Chains A and B, each alone.
Chain A
Amino acid sequence: DIQMTQSPSTLSASVGDRVTITCRASQSISDWLAWYQQKPGKAPNLLIYRASTLETGVPSRFSGSGSGTEFTLTISSLQPDDFATYYCQQYYSYYTFGQGTKLEIK
């Protein structure tokens, strides 16, 4: 099984900050990685797939990078709507999700 480890688990930041979330895979997954945003009581919303491709309609302040085993999600300038929980997910072999990163208002 491929394990996905996100860091940090919680991130406190302010509107306008640049933030980065890291996701590590237990083995190489090439670039078969997606990022999701989830708000309380809602389904996850796809942000990025293939590690760095922005889903249609997602603001350009979101970006993804990485390949192999290490990946990052960056939000260039936090907006109030961005405070949520973020999950990475590998789809190289079945599916595995990271444990999530909760982005909180500082």
Chain B
Amino acid sequence: QVQLRESGPGLVKPSETLSLTCSVSGGSISDYSWTWIRQPPGKALEWIGYIYYSGTTNYNPSLKSRVTISVDTSKNQFSLKLSSVTAADTAVYYCARQASSGYPDFWGQGTQVTVSS
């Protein structure tokens, strides 16, 4: 069964770039599309963006100018970069696999990222 695990700094300074990696095991990253979703404290889930197996990306319009999602097939990983962060970007960040029909089916455990000086 596929497993996903997020990794990256838990603390990022305002105006800097948040960088996270999702490591995928139990399957090839080339066989599916992959997504990032976040959840601010006490709030609902917010979609950040996804990358298709073809390498094409789609981003949430509200974050599009600051987001980059990429894939490293040699490492079976995909990554998120979010630039110019503010306190509003403080959240638990989840990576997930996108099922062939389009919904996220397997999720990582999530990683807390706090934006603070």
Contact = CB atoms under 8 A, between A and B. Distances in A.
Contacts of A1: 61
Interface in A1-30: 1
A49 interface: yes
A82 interface: no
A40 to B, nearest CB: 11
Interface residues of B, number: 21
Contacts, number: 51
A49 B47 contact: no
B44 A95 contact: no
A3 to B, nearest CB: 12
B44 A99 contact: yes
A55 B45 CA distance: 20
Interface stretch (B13-21, B24-32, B79-87, B103-111): B103-111
A5 B94 CA distance: 22
Contact of B47 (A42, A55, A95, A99): A95
Nearest to A34: B103
B103 A96 contact: no
Given A1-B61, A50-B101, A100 B107 contact: no
A5 B49 CA distance: 21
24 contacts: A32-B102, A34-B103, A42-B110, A43-B109, A44-B45, A44-B104, A45-B107, A49-B99, A49-B103, A55-B105, A87-B44, A87-B45, A91-B102, A91-B103, A94-B58, A95-B35, A95-B37, A95-B47, A95-B50, A97-B44, A97-B45, A97-B46, A98-B44, A100-B44
